[in-house]
Structure 1
């Protein structure tokens, strides 16, 4: 299969649309952008030229956090309804346009300030959020120093951040705006991240580049450095690729699920059926709208484990991939890039 056959690879669609390959898989699994063809032997996904354009529109709509069902309505061909839905976001669109004008004026200065020969340009605010999201999964002790770090990987059009303490794993991908040099990777000491996050929130654009024993961040002509842990990071991709096949998939709105969990102090049970999701605990039951595909299942979670993952999810929608009641559950979300978190269920019984 090649692009000359009229279909386009997932990598080409990612580069053209500004979405990551992981985000494209998320939208395919949610039914918003189902590939035109999936190779039955390799599982590789292929798209049409029209879907490439649809992906670009999805990227723009998700940038202002339009929910998945609203995006489907906007792209359905009903012009009047699409205009009404877009008008509801016009204030945010205007704000972003003004911000983009300010950022454009500083890009040249930022690029000139980066003297490492390698680096990526991205939104400072998005990088701050991404660092905040993944650092919670970094180890707090130093028994294995590298687990107290955050793996930073730069490739063609994205920056990936990953942290794990062996019990949790969180990985976030951020779409970059420009790039110099080759791919690179390093492990940043998570203890340096707190002050950097506060600094990033005051910038518009930032360059991230590898330096001597440091991650170098340059914004508005100011340079900040995060120390590097010079040890190999665990092969988290092997962990993700070694997960058991998904038997049940849930797509639900993030905020109602978060609100339901915040009303419980310990353990909750998710009851998943074809009709939706019910969260129960503390003798209370909360039916929530959800699209459930696959086998019906009951699964329990410690609120302290699950709630942080939901708080840090991107955008208004959350996808849960469940293999079994005693295996890690994958939580996925996507807006400006994508975020994947593994959360372990609990076998603790729950009074109903």
Structure 2
């Protein structure tokens, strides 16, 4: 097919084979504005590309292959060589930092290979600090129901899992340990966990163990103890297993979404369309984000104190929003990393009427 001028146009399948990207990825990058087809057939919707766009597609694949976020890719491809080099250098430095963290964990694992299961967990202090920050935001801020002001810490099956819920949000993060670990669990005071953040950032490796009435953490020659709450934690696994079927799935850039919802001023309204997420407040100020959408359009709303911490804590450059209905919890995950899962309950519907206050995630 001949396009504008004399340049031949190629189908999305031909470009996919030439660039190493899948057709679905090319459609996603079209929706994101990174790689817009040279022509779209108005009758069939088929996308056609110029042969010269293959080089751009290959570069997008290479950048995504090393984990560069979508918004950074857009800047790299914008044509400012100096800015592109700055972004790539910063990304490589971040990869090196993460590799150093991985090396610490690997050394700890190699030192314990062949050991029998123990009650003591060894892991990267930076990884634990990040998990605590991501999860504890979902803990209740009052002790009206004491156990909800805590974080459930579970060891076993080669992993450490942290979970918190205030009945309107639920966050759970699993850290793979890849070593034998004895089974134990404690509900730890969320305030105590918050207070050890600076200490965790000052040490490389930390051990975590359960003791009577406390969680014991040791590292860098220092031992700290966090108080526990002696009450049964809600069965969050049953909550996750009992979620309604997903009707609409939205994949969107995390940082761009966070910019739109950071203010705590008013109710946040999501309107999902074919290829975008429209974010507004009851007072106006709509913004539009390109999104990969599967399923029908939907509108739902949130109190900012429920939604914003959940998006802020989410992992990865893109997040996945699984929506069952406007009055049921949405599931928030990384589009590529399943270690952190968050539920957020829409507490106010798009018409501005509050839901029944008993309509909660937990209890």
Instruction: With the length of structure 1 as denominator, give the TM-score of the two structures.
Output: 0.68
With over 3 angstroms needed to count, the CA separation of the structure-2 counterparts of 1:100 and 1:117, relative to structure 1, is: closer
1:316-337: CA deviations, max 9, x gaps?
1111110111111111127776
User: 8 Å contact 1:120–1:180 — kept in the other structure?
Assistant: no
Match in the other structure for 2:18: none
Give the drift of 1:98: 5.1
CA shift, 1:199, in A, is 1.1
Residue range with higher mean Cα deviation, 140-149 or 286-295 = 140-149
Specify the alignment match of 1:92 in structure 2.
94
Quickly say closer, same or farther: Cα 1:317–1:139, change in 2 above 3 A: same
2:340 corresponds in structure 1 to 339
Aligned equivalents of 1:347 and 1:295: distance in 2?
18
Which residue of the partner structure matches residue 218 of structure 2?
218
* 1:189 has 2:198 as partner: no
Question: How much does 1:136 deviate?
Answer: 2.1
**1:330/1:95 CA distance change after superposition, 3 Å:** closer
Deviation, 1:289, is 1.2
CA–CA distance in structure 1, aligned partners of residues 65 and 181 of structure 2: 27
Q: Distance between the aligned counterparts of 2:176 and 2:68, measured in 1?
A: 18
CA gap 1:105/1:139 in 2 versus in 1, 3 angstroms: closer
Q: Residue 119 of structure 1 corresponds to which residue in structure 2?
A: 120
Q: Deviations over 1:146-175 (max 9, x none)?
A: 222110111223211111122221111222
- The question of whether the paired residues in 1 share the 8 Å contact of 2:125 and 2:205 is answered with yes
Q: Evaluate the alpha carbon distance shift between residue 104 and residue 172 of structure 1 in structure 2; reply closer, same or farther with a 3 A threshold.
A: closer
Which ranges in structure 1 are unaligned for 5 or more consecutive residues? 1-29, 32-60, 72-84
Shift of 1:268: 2.6
CA shift for structure 1 position 142: 2.7
Aligned mates of 2:209, 2:163 — CA distance in 1: 17
Deviation at 1:94, TM superposition (A): 3.5
Alignment coverage as a number of residue pairs:
275
| 1:272-326 superposed Cα distances (whole Å, 9 cap, x missing partner) | 1222211123332211011010111111222222111111111211111101111
**How far apart in 2 are the matches of 1:159 and 1:336?**
16
Which runs of 5 or more residues in structure 2 are unaligned? 1-23, 26-62, 74-86, 353-363
Give the structure 2 partner of residue 295 of structure 1.
296
Q: Distance in 1 between matches of 2:181 and 2:263?
A: 49
After superposition, the Cα gap between the structure-2 partners of 1:141 and 1:261, relative to the gap in structure 1 and judged at 3 Å, is: closer
Residue 330 of structure 2 corresponds to which residue in structure 1?
329
In structure 1, the partner of 2:152 is 151
Shift of 1:104: 7.3
Structure 1 position 278 matched with structure 2 position 270: no
SS, match of residue 256 in structure 1:
helix
| Contact 1:62 1:315 (8 Å CA) reproduced | no
Find the residue that maps to 2:299 and give its secondary structure: strand
Give the Cα separation in 1 of the matches to 2:167 and 2:324.
19
1:12 maps to which residue? none
> Aligned partners of 2:338 and 2:184: how far apart in 1?
19
- Tell me if the contact between 2:159 and 2:181 (Cα under 8 Å) persists in the aligned partners: no
Contact 2:264 2:305 in 1 (8 A): no
How far did residue 63 of structure 1 move?
12
The Cα offsets for residues 231-271 of structure 1, whole Å up to 9 and x where unpaired, read as 22111111111111110011111011011113672123212
RMSD (Å) for aligned C-alpha atoms:
3.5
Q: Which aligned pairs between 1:63-142 and structure 2 lie closer than 5 A?
A: 66-67=68-69, 89-97=91-99, 103=104, 107=108, 117-142=118-143
Call closer, same or farther: CA 1:309–1:94 in 2, change over 3 Å: closer
Q: For residues 197 and 277 of structure 1, do their structure 2 counterparts lie closer, same or farther at Cα, with a shift above 3 Å needed?
A: same
- Is residue 315–residue 333 contact of structure 1 (8 Å, CA) maintained in 2? yes
Rg larger for: 2
Q: Which has the higher contact order (CA 8 A, sep 6+)?
A: 1
* Aligned partners of 2:135 and 2:171 also within 8 Å: yes
The 1:190–1:63 alpha-carbon spacing in structure 2 relative to 1, beyond 3 Å, is: farther
Q: State the 1:117 CA deviation.
A: 3.8
2-structure distance, mates of 1:264, 1:117:
45
